[in-house]
Amino acid sequence: MARKNTKQQKEFVFLPLGGIGEIGMNLYLYGFGPARKRRWLMVDLGVTFAGPGEPGIDVILPDIRFIEEQRGNLEGIILTHAHEDHFGAVISLWPRLRVPLYATPFAAALLRAKLIEQGLEGDIPIEEIPTRAKLDIGPFHVELVDMAHSIPESNGLLIQTELGSAFHTSDWKLDTTPVAGAATDEKRLRKIGKQGVDALICDSTNAMRDGLSPSEADVAKTLGELIANAPHRVAVTAFASNVARLRSAMDAAVAANRHIVIVGRAMKRVVQVAEETGYLPSGYDILSEDDYGHLPRETVMALCTGSQGEGRAALARIASDNHPRVSFSRGDMVLFSSRTIPGNEKAVGNLQNKLVDLGVDVVTDRDALIHVSGHPRRGELEKLYSWLKPDILVPMHGEACHLEAQADLARSFGVKSVVTPRNGSLVRLCPGPAEIIGEVQSGRVYMDGRLPVVAGDGPVEDRRRLSLAGAVAVSVVLTSKGDIVAEPQITMIGIPAATANGILFADVIVQAIHGALDGIPRPRRRDSAMVAEAVRRAVRAQVNAHWGKKPPCSVMVTVV
């Protein structure tokens, strides 16, 4: 790691390994001490989800090799809340770190439920801490502060050291009526600002949007009206972790004398945990999927997983008519009470089109106020700046455009120092000046089935190329004198049968093979590797000449 400052003085630093320059895969490190003896605190350990550009991959993890090599200096991991992009990598990566793991009751309960589902009950010790807790973790004094979000118990963190302090917002918004969970603690934030905070590390997701976010209570009102007036079945799909949204839909169902049916494992898990931790009352009469088909259409309100178009989730299976117990009929209504995560637009669009083809009335947040974001708009950011009065602003949780939008807003608001790092940037917070002082290894790791594969390595890149241009496999058998024994064997995957002129591609490839062999003197054909490379190049060139694409080509040369 290259550094500008080589003096062995104590420093308070910030180091993102995920979550900056992207939305998702949040992993943030705070360090204290001299460069070679820093103690570290990890905030969150999340995943992101693969898109069409990562064929065969569902989940992407942060590359933790930097902190894994220093795990003896890692004091602990604290989870701000239980969204997958903040805690979804814990089960996969904690065994490589094995340090104390701190979580508030709701996050701890959800994590335990996931461990049980995977047959790993008790494998990860969780130190459960209350909301608004104050605790010492190594050289860091950490205080949890209530921040409203789209899940209960989203916590901002005041992290104090002997050199200075930072306020890490995590995900948040201003909402005085959040339905489930606490409102953002304005009183405590103002007091922190009066005491003084050096750096604000702040959510940037909605930094390009003016004004203030609507309240979760506004969504509850709209859901109530739509569910009450629906002529037949109504289904609500939302992020399973959005307990407030689930509660609003369930309350609306009760008010409309509808039965509540939950469809999807993740949503059942969250409802169970929310009841256990007191964020959902236990009095709801929730029916199973087995009851669904026996209920009159006008008396059903179903909560379904799959708002992001996930192929294996409940809603996609229902739309494809392959769910064993749940189906929709013409005139039913589906409310998409969520936003589409960037990268999922095509999957969600395909899902909605399938539902429309079934005659289902699809309602999204473009049609009615049935979703609000859990992240702050510019007006909310300005209020937080005015409460905390930070000397330093570090935008986090956002793509480049979001980060720069918040940076510009903070400068215009008068924040003295704005630092805009990316994943792997080491930022000195204290003592000043605040600046990027180095870079460390960071990146992405694909979970390829059960195997972790570093992004850029072979398998996923190979699959991406196959999806674009198919593949060709060639087998050539030569005598020891360099004569070809028989016609080459060819296998084509994803290659058109014939050229635009009607010539079979198999014939094009055979001609290319013979042409390559004719160009090699017989004595030199004993070099199998050289022959294979010549054939590979010739095949790709000829296919490209007729098709305009160069498929990957593997060649096996056998000498007998």
| CATH code for position 506 | 3.10.20.580
**Domain residue limits at 244:** 216-363
| 381 within domain boundaries | yes
Q: Are residues 72 and 199 in the same domain?
A: yes
| 397 within domain boundaries | yes
**Which residue among 318, 336, 363 closes a domain?**
363
Q: Are residues 60 and 112 in the same domain?
A: yes
The beta-carbon contacts of 451-456 under 8 Å, at least 24 apart in sequence, are 452/61, 452/92, 454/63, 455/60, 455/63
Looking at the 3D structure of the chain, how many domains does it have? 3
The pLDDT value recorded for residue 354 is: 97
The pLDDT value recorded for residue 273 is: 96
Instruction: Select from 382, 335, 329 the least CA-distant residue to 357.
Output: 329
| 4 within domain boundaries | no
Q: Are residues 87 and 207 in the same domain?
A: yes
**3-state SS, one letter per residue, for 525-550:** HHCHHHHHHHHHHHHHHHHHHHHCCC
| CATH code for position 98 | 3.60.15.10
Q: Are residues 142 and 244 in the same domain?
A: no
Q: Are residues 329 and 189 in the same domain?
A: no
| 86 within domain boundaries | yes
Give the ranges where 37-170 is alpha helix by DSSP (H).
65-69, 84-87, 90-93, 105-117
Q: Are residues 205 and 230 in the same domain?
A: no
**Which residue among 341, 363, 385 closes a domain?**
363
| 463 within domain boundaries | no
The pLDDT value recorded for residue 7 is: 54
Q: Are residues 31 and 164 in the same domain?
A: yes
Average pLDDT along the chain, 560 residues, taken 10 residues at a time: 59 97 95 96 94 82 96 98 97 97 98 96 97 98 98 98 98 96 97 97 97 96 98 97 97 97 95 95 92 95 95 94 95 96 89 97 97 97 98 97 98 97 98 96 90 80 86 93 89 94 94 93 89 95 95 92
CA 353 to CA 362: how far, in whole Å? 9
Strands (E), 378-470: 392-396, 417-418, 425-430, 435-439, 444-448, 451-454
Q: Are residues 347 and 442 in the same domain?
A: no
Q: Are residues 326 and 450 in the same domain?
A: no
pTM for this predicted structure: 0.89
Q: Are residues 433 and 539 in the same domain?
A: no
| 54 within domain boundaries | yes
Q: Are residues 390 and 410 in the same domain?
A: yes
- CB contact at 8 A, 128 and 60: no
| 459 within domain boundaries | no
Match 């003096």 to its residue by tokens: 7
Residue-wise pLDDT for 171-206, tens only, equals: 999 999 999 999 999 999 999 999 999 999 999 999
Question: Sign of the CA dihedral 54, 55, 59, 60?
Answer: negative
Mean pLDDT of the chain: 94
Q: Are residues 404 and 351 in the same domain?
A: no
**Which residue among 330, 363, 396 closes a domain?**
363
CA 177 to CA 11: how far, in whole Å? 40
The pLDDT value recorded for residue 455 is: 83
CA 208 to CA 234: how far, in whole Å? 34
